[in-house]
Structure 1
Amino acid sequence: MKKRLIYFLSQKHIRSSMAEAWAKKLAVTDAQFISGSWCHTQTSPFVADALHEYAMEPPTTMPVTPSQQLLNEADLIVTIYDSASELAPGFPAELKDKIMYWDIKDPELSIDEPAKWAHYQEVCDNIATSVKGLEKVLL
């Protein structure tokens, strides 16, 4: 049986990597989860710290850059963006039925460290809730 391909995509890979980590904890056995970024890859130690709060590790795989072939092969493309500061990428019309948008804040917009850490925790919680909602769609 072919596994469904679920592709999490965010501007800097920070939020999509968190989503991939959460998705791999789901009780969904017929799906492969990958993540990437549409702009550039950025890392932050806060990603690992936020996931460690839940005894989870960030993905060890490299972010997967979107290509037309990957977008065509994906069964679902979850686009995570912050509507207050980012424009979600546009996709060809033929992909519209498999695109899902999650409007989740970019934690990197916080300047000072204590506030940034709190934003990462909040974003991690929001992504966890969204991924758990996705589980109902996938089962």
Structure 2
Amino acid sequence: MPMKKTILFLCTGNSCRSQMAEGWTRKLKGDEFEVRSAGVETHGLNPLAVEVMAEAGVDISGHRSKLVSELDVDTFDYVVTVCDHASEHCPFFPAESRRIHAGFPDPPALARTAATHEEALEHYRRVRDAIRDFVQSLPAPLL
């Protein structure tokens, strides 16, 4: 059996988008990829991200926000930045790691003006579904 490729999803705070990407990849592509997520900072796990992922049948409640410096960066075949800030401030990775940018809108920023909890969740759901679509298309975006 061939070894699984490894992916790191990197975001600013590892609180929302990168956590969603990790959850979707485990659920949809876990037989093909080993996956982790991290941030260039830590902001804690976003409870609305946990809520909308649970609605879709993906439990990320046990995840924690972690810094990229906590991981062995030599082990990733692919580093996928999921926000512009992380792409701009991405730390050095060995030459063997292929860096790809797949930017997604920031749900907390989108939801900042939401009048209700449900309205806020709609922003998170749109981003969740866009990330799911990206993950479903793997490995094509990595090539």
Q: TM class, shorter-chain normalised?
A: 0.7 to 0.9
Q: State the partner residue of 2:68.
A: 66
Q: State the partner residue of 1:6.
A: 7
Task: Assess if the C-alpha contact under 8 Å between 2:104 and 2:127 holds in 1.
Answer: yes
The CA distance in 2 between the partners of 1:59 and 1:95, in whole Å, is 33
Letter in 2 for 1:24: R
For 1:79, which of 72, 78, 81 is the aligned residue? Answer: 81
Could you tell me which runs of 5 or more consecutive residues in structure 1 were left unpaired when the two chains were aligned.
Answer: none
How many residues align? The count is: 135
Letter in 1 for 2:13: K
* TM-score between the two structures when normalised by the length of structure 2: 0.77
Give 1:117-132 correspondences, 5 Å limit.
117-132=121-136
Q: What is the CA distance between 1:53 and its match in structure 2?
A: 2.1
Q: What is the CA distance between 1:95 and its match in structure 2?
A: 3.8
* TM-score between the two structures when normalised by the length of structure 1: 0.79
Runs of 4+ in 1 over 6 A off after TM superposition: none
The CA distance in 1 between the partners of 2:40 and 2:122, in whole Å, is 25
Q: State the partner residue of 1:100.
A: 100
The CA distance in 2 between the partners of 1:69 and 1:10, in whole Å, is 14
Mark the CA change 1:43 to 1:27 in structure 2 (over 3 Å): closer, same or farther: closer
Q: What is the CA distance between 1:32 and its match in structure 2?
A: 1.2
- For residues 101-121 of structure 1, the C-alpha deviation after alignment (integer angstroms, 9 at most, x for no partner) is 111001111213444211100
% identity of equivalent residues: 21
The CA distance in 2 between the partners of 1:20 and 1:44, in whole Å, is 14
Q: State the partner residue of 2:57.
A: 55
2:72 partner SS: helix
The CA distance in 1 between the partners of 2:67 and 2:33, in whole Å, is 19
Could you tell me which runs of 5 or more consecutive residues in structure 2 were left unpaired when the two chains were aligned.
Answer: none
- For residues 57-100 of structure 1, the C-alpha deviation after alignment (integer angstroms, 9 at most, x for no partner) is 1162434421397222211111110x4xx362234485486111
The CA distance in 1 between the partners of 2:69 and 2:126, in whole Å, is 30
The CA distance in 2 between the partners of 1:28 and 1:128, in whole Å, is 13
Task: Assess if the C-alpha contact under 8 Å between 1:36 and 1:63 holds in 2.
Answer: yes
Q: What is the CA distance between 1:25 and its match in structure 2?
A: 1.6
RMSD: 2.7
Mark the CA change 1:90 to 1:57 in structure 2 (over 3 Å): closer, same or farther: closer
Task: Assess if the C-alpha contact under 8 Å between 1:26 and 1:135 holds in 2.
Answer: no
